[in-house]
Amino acid sequence: MLPPKIHFHKWQGIGNDFVVLDLISHPLPPDFDFSAAALALCERRLGVGADGLLSLEPAVNDADLQMRMWNPDGSEDMCGNGLRCVAALAWAQEHVRNPQFSVQTRAGNRDITVLGPHSLRAAMGAPIFEPSQVPIALPQRSHAIDIEIRLADTTWRATALSTGSTHTVVFLENPLCDADFGKWSPLLENHPLFPQRTSVMWAVAEGAGRFKIRIWERGVGETLACGTGACAVAVAAQVSGRSGKNVAIESRGGVLEVEWTRGEEILLTGSAHPVFQGVWNF
């Protein structure tokens, strides 16, 4: 069920834009249909327009807050840039007073540090390589690092992992042209190996410790940025010997800083900015 009016905020993290519902300030009924709301609100011509719908809610475990996220197709997911946006909104609205706090997500609790008015660092959890948890259908393997994925008459070398969401990272010598990006990205997203689909990160090295990426998010399509995707690229680069523990990931929306020491959590640092707020009339 969707109420006739919904108060919302519009936020963006390096170009990854979101409609955010502050359910602490403006609670919604228990039967509220978030998937239907995502379909309506994220539509860029008939709705507000966004890469995803976020909710800021009271936590139901020992975290300080809770975040949930829905893609424009209504599927629920996890989002690193969305996490920073929700955390920044919570800080701006004074739902939290300590600049270090935790946010409950579908991938687990995530620790946040507010570094400045629009800069935050998030501990994103440890990367997951176990195929059944990525998930990717490779029952005979212990990981999906540097695997071959065949599509039609082309084979791509890729690394699949989860950083809170499923990602497939493909390292290239040169960027794909628009036609090839539009052709191969949805085919990889929907490859039979991935029972829940996958986002696809096309990455090109730009020098020591820096990669430029082009992003195809499952359930969304091309986006300007992806926080969990940036984490996946940084981890895949390190495990394949392409980088050290500190990596700058540049996308069309801007740059994210990723730090990962093996056996520890990934640290993601980037910006989050308010765009506008309003009331949506269904």
Among the listed residues 42, 79, 85, 231, the single catalytic one is 79
Report the alpha-carbon angle 115-24-93, nearest 5. Answer: 35
In the prediction, which pLDDT does 117 show?
Answer: 86
Q: Cα separation of 39 and 34, whole Å?
A: 9
Q: Is the dihedral of CA 109, 110, 116, 117 positive or negative?
A: negative
Report yes or no: 79 and 233 within 8 Å, Cβ to Cβ. no
Q: Cα separation of 88 and 18, whole Å?
A: 13
In the prediction, which pLDDT does 152 show?
Answer: 86
Residue 163: other Cβ atoms inside 10 A: 30
User: Coil, strand, or helix at residue 73?
Assistant: coil
User: Coil, strand, or helix at residue 166?
Assistant: strand
Q: In the CATH hierarchy, which fold is given to the domain comprising 5-123+271-281?
A: Diaminopimelate Epimerase; Chain A, domain 1 (3.10.310)
Find, among 161, 158, 162, the residue nearest to 170 by Cα.
Answer: 158
Domain ranges across the chain:
5-123+271-281, 144-264
Report the alpha-carbon angle 53-29-196, nearest 5. Answer: 40
User: By CB neighbour count within 10 A (0-12 exposed, 13-18 middle, 19+ buried), where does 152 fall?
Assistant: exposed
Query: 139: Cβ–Cβ under 8 A, 6 or more apart, which residues?
Result: 131, 132
Question: In terms of DSSP bridges, do strands 5-13 and 16-22 run parallel, antiparallel, or are they unpaired?
Answer: antiparallel
Same fold, 5-123+271-281 and 144-264: yes
Write the CATH number of the domain with boundaries 144-264. 3.10.310.10
* 79 belongs to the catalytic site: yes
Kindly provide the b/e burial profile for residues 59-93, where b requires at least 16 CB atoms within 10 angstroms of the residue's own CB. eeeebbbbbbbbbbebbebbbbbbbbbbbbbbbee
Residue 45 structure tokens: 């011509």
Q: Cα separation of 198 and 185, whole Å?
A: 10
Among the listed residues 42, 85, 226, 231, the single catalytic one is 226
Determine the straight-line distance between the first and last CA of the chain, rounded to whole angstroms.
Answer: 11
Q: Cα separation of 104 and 56, whole Å?
A: 10
Which residues in the chain land under pLDDT 70?
1-3
In the prediction, which pLDDT does 248 show?
Answer: 99
pTM of the complete model = 0.94
In the prediction, which pLDDT does 2 show?
Answer: 66
Query: 266: Cβ–Cβ under 8 A, 6 or more apart, which residues?
Result: 123, 124, 125, 126, 127, 163, 231, 234, 235, 258, 259, 260
* 226 belongs to the catalytic site: yes
Q: Cα separation of 173 and 205, whole Å?
A: 8
Task: Tell me the pLDDT tens digit for each residue of 97-121.
Answer: 999 999 999 999 999 999 998 999 9
